Amino acid sequence: MGSPAIAILGTGSYTPSRILTNEELSQQVETSDEWIFSRTGIRERHIAAKDETTSHMAAAAARIAIADAGLTAADIDLIIVATVTPDMPMPSTACFVQAHLGVLSHAACFDLNAACSGFIYALDTAWAMLGSSRYRHALVIGAERMSTVVDWKDRTTCVLFGDGAGAVVLGPARGTAQIIGTKLYAEGAHAHLLCIPEKKCAPGEIAADAPQPPRTITMKGREIFKNAVREMEQAAREILDHHQIDAAAINCVIPHQANLRIIAAIGQHLNLPPERFFVNLERYGNTSAASIPLALDEARSTGRIKPGDTTLLIAFGAGLTYGSALVRW
């Protein structure tokens, strides 16, 4: 007997109420709405309040996804949070999410770091775990508080990122909806192109004696751009070939929302028109692991994804990691 069919049963998302526009940013660093929008497609981003942690945003998105699936928190027996901005190094943000959900469900909880590809990595992991039939309903969440790892004086990075969370509930397929496939990749040789360098300690030195520079994002933007286009195209082509699905049969592509020019280039390479891509980065910026589930939830709630549709998800991020997923609704 093969593995049981697993589907996305519900989606949810959450973004903080505080909106930071390009105009406001241009009063903090030397930039302009014109530069940011023409280079990236971003107009504004949401910024978490002081007490609005990654787990709070994740739990808010999760509650909506659980209700959308017609379940309660007690039905969830696995929680995976994809994030590079956990509440703390330990325990995992997923444990905090379980606590916020308020039900002592004893669901297994862990975090996963694959940067902006984190949601696809977590989806693949949860799909495999549910496919083993040892778990029944999983919460897969991408949640980020990027505002805490951005150097707000560095105009080359601070204009790009935003905060938010998106969640899906996976479970036994009802009807014909199901996850068709996933593909994960990484190129560690390019790890240095995009990172949050660790506090450095010399051998034998204890952390308290070492200088403590702030941990913020460093990025080689142009190289990331080129790799992103190449890798997302590869991730899309290989999953379509593997499942013998023509690109033209995809109703909606949900790419990682980093830069509109990256998305446009992928569309050209795959010979897909811009309207086939769902894009909301104008209002959120790059929310890292949250970007795809945030877009997925918006695409569903606005009717852009309908029952019976086939959706292609494509991600790339620090690592460099990249990956894709095919989902039937």
Judged by the rule CB under 6 A, the positions of this chain that interact with ligand ACO are: 31, 35-36, 39-40, 115-116, 155-156, 159-160, 194, 219, 221-222, 224-225, 228, 258-259, 286, 288, 317-318
Whole-number minimum distance, CB 72 to ligand ACO, in Å? 34
Nearer residue to ligand ACO within complex by CB, 86 or 171: 86
Gap between the Cα atoms of 69 and 8, Å rounded: 8
Whole-number minimum distance, CB 283 to ligand ACO, in Å? 17
Gap between the Cα atoms of 143 and 163, Å rounded: 8
Gap between the Cα atoms of 264 and 190, Å rounded: 23
Whole-number minimum distance, CB 42 to ligand ACO, in Å? 9
Nearer residue to ligand ACO within complex by CB, 168 or 228: 228
Buried b / exposed e over 70-94, threshold 16 CB at 10 Å, is ebebebbbbbbbbbbbbbeeeebbb
Whole-number minimum distance, CB 98 to ligand ACO, in Å? 26
Tokens of residue 257, six digits: 């929302």
Q: Amino acid identity of 15?
A: T
- List, in order, residues 6 or more apart from 218 with CB less than 8 Å away: 157, 194, 195, 196, 197
Backbone torsions φ then ψ of 11, nearest 5 degrees: -135, 155
Based on the residue annotation, tell me whether 286 is a catalytic residue of this protein. yes
Nearer residue to ligand ACO within complex by CB, 182 or 291: 291
Nearer residue to ligand ACO within complex by CB, 44 or 77: 44
Tokens of residue 286, six digits: 């790059």
Catalytic residue among 95, 113, 256, 259: 256
Catalytic residue among 95, 116, 158, 252: 116
Nearer residue to ligand ACO within complex by CB, 166 or 317: 317
Nearer residue to ligand ACO within complex by CB, 156 or 234: 156
Beta-bridge partners for 13: 166
Whole-number minimum distance, CB 192 to ligand ACO, in Å? 13
Whole-number minimum distance, CB 15 to ligand ACO, in Å? 17
Catalytic site positions: 116, 256, 286
